[in-house]
Structure 1
Amino acid sequence: MSAWTESDLTTIGDATELQATSRRKDGSLRNYVTIWGVRVGDDIFVRSAYGADNPWFRRAVTAGAGRVRAGGVERDVTFIRVGPDSSTHSDIDAAYHTKYDRYGPQIVGSVVGEHATEVTLRLDPHIS
């Protein structure tokens, strides 16, 4: 069950962009990067548009924890890799298409399809 509030899900899900950062080993936060994210049900997902070698993605996977902010919401999160065999990927693709198709197929194509399954992260909020 998601620990996101409905308000947070709506705000983050409706935001065109979100900013994400990972934690360093000493617990401090790295610089934020701007990325696209989508809401699917009670979850928020992000994907690396430039593959698994993208520095923010590598750092997020390695750290496992960080923070996101969008639309005035800021939350500490855990980055959870979504396996390529997850049935959720088609719903994530559909959410990206619905939200971002207006930017054109080349841009949206960087975060949808089979190649995007290996670079999908679910953002789980830390419960305070």
Structure 2
Amino acid sequence: MTAWTDAELDRIGAAEEIELESERGDGSLRAPVTMWMVRDGDLVYVRSVKGREGPWFRGTRTRYRGRVSAGGITKDVTFQDADPSTYERVDAAYRAKYGHYTGIVDTVLTPLSRAATLRLVPR
């Protein structure tokens, strides 16, 4: 497994949004989706506001692979379901980074959204 470099983590963590493209069955990439992401130590997470039934989340289930771009970094990644034991830390990271979006940040803190937390692992 490949890890994020410190420079990549700094740039991605500082970016407001990430562009996420998941792979189709034939290996081509779906259209990018702009979303929020957070860093927790040396890990990067995203969540689906619409839960596991959200269209982009379902797209990650095809091959569990894709590409992300943020902060001038573009990286091929694997999508891994986050361990539920990380949800509270990820919640805190979302509140710290996006809490100034009063009310909107709550959409990524629901049980539905928490259950659709993915870790982005470079490959």
TM-score when normalising by structure 1: 0.90
Q: Could you say what secondary structure the match of 1:68 adopts?
A: strand
User: For residue 106 of structure 2, what is the amino acid of its counterpart?
Assistant: G
Matched ranges for 1:1-128 at <5 A: 3-83=3-83, 86-105=84-103, 107-126=104-123
* Sequence identity percentage: 48
**Unmatched 5+ stretches in structure 2:** none
Structure 1: 5+ residue stretches without partners: none
Q: Which runs of 4+ in 1 moved over 4 A?
A: none
SS in 1 for 2:62: helix
Answer yes or no: is the 8 Å Cα contact 1:64–1:78 preserved in 2: yes
Specify whether residues 89 and 58 from structure 1 end up closer, same or farther in structure 2 by C-alpha distance, changes over 3 A only.
Answer: same
- Give aligned pairs, total: 123
Helix, strand or coil: the match of 2:38? strand
Distance, in Å, in 2 between the alignment partners of 1:52 and 1:114 is 11
